[in-house]
Amino acid sequence: MKDVERHLREKSSERTLLATLVDPANVSTSDLGRIASDLEKGGADLILVGGSIAAGVDLEEKILAIKSEISIPVVLFPGNVDGVAPGADAILFMSLLNSGNPYWIIQVQALAAPKIKKLGIEPIPTAYLIFEPGHTTAAGWVGWVNPIPRRKPQIALAYALAAEMLGIRWIYLEAGSGAEKPVPTETIKLISNFTDLGIIVGGGLRTQEQISERAKAGANIVVIGTKIEESKDIKSEIKAFSNALKEASKGL
Ligand code: 1GP
């Protein structure tokens, strides 16, 4: 698919989109086609592919296995330089703004950019913010994060405004994979009210109520990973989440 960013913008102006995260380190290539097909049939709007540790192993063939079964966009969600591989429709080109280590703010991007250019993968400029408790999740630990306090939405807003002023167009509000509590709705509302950034929310989202609340708060995309990985019936589970989002968007 070409111009994924515009597609996501247009579709998410009608209703909040459902992204499912596939961590290639946790799934074998032979299972991926079936899983991707179930995700699409269930109503997922896009598939994110990435993870914090060992996600680069066999990544190219894993992307191909996913792509061969579906037509929704496949977007890389890289945890490091090894999260870039051919075949994806786009990449969340992220800067982890609240890292204490410049590697995650700008150096990894410089190392990855020539490869992304050469492969012709569409970059979607994205600020990445990790919330409390931060260090206890893989992304926070790997990324040397100074976590955003849950009760200080104005700190997240300050980063969001700075990102927008730098020309970044999307923001990923991350509680961390498997987090006990997702990103607070207050924070989403504030960023939605005071910026034009596309808002992606992920980490610890497990229930229809949680995603509906975040859709109503102004999220353009909600991301579900762990809950789907643990599911015995992926298609039905995704369908329920997708219907909940459609319902939530009706009232907006
Ligand atoms: C992690 O936001 C994603 O980067 C998804 O988190 O695995 O908790 O759904 P979960």
Range of the domain at 103: 4-249
pLDDT above 90 coverage of the chain, percent: 93
In this structure, the residue with its CA closest to atom 4 of ligand 1 is 177
pLDDT score, position 55 = 85
- Is the CB of 174 inside a 6 Å radius of any atom of ligand 1? yes
The answer to whether the CB of 52 falls within 8 A of the CB of 25 is: no
Compute the distance between CA of residue 57 and CA of residue 217 in angstroms, rounded to an integer: 37
- Is the CB of 46 inside a 6 Å radius of any atom of ligand 1? no
Q: CA 47, 125, 200: angle at the middle one, nearest 5? A: 50
CA of 25 to the centre of ligand 1 (A): 14
CATH number of the domain within which 127 lies: 3.20.20.390
**Model confidence, pTM:** 0.97
Count the domains in the chain.
Answer: 1
Mutate to test the pocket of ligand 1, among 205, 206, 228, 241 (most ligand atoms within 8 A of CB): 205
pLDDT score, position 250 = 84
In 78-183, beta strands by DSSP E = 90-96, 122-130, 170-174
Locate the ligand 1 atom nearest the alpha carbon of residue 50 and give its number.
4
Mean pLDDT by 10 residues, the chain (252 residues): 96 97 94 96 98 89 96 97 97 98 98 98 98 88 96 98 98 96 98 98 97 98 96 96 94 72
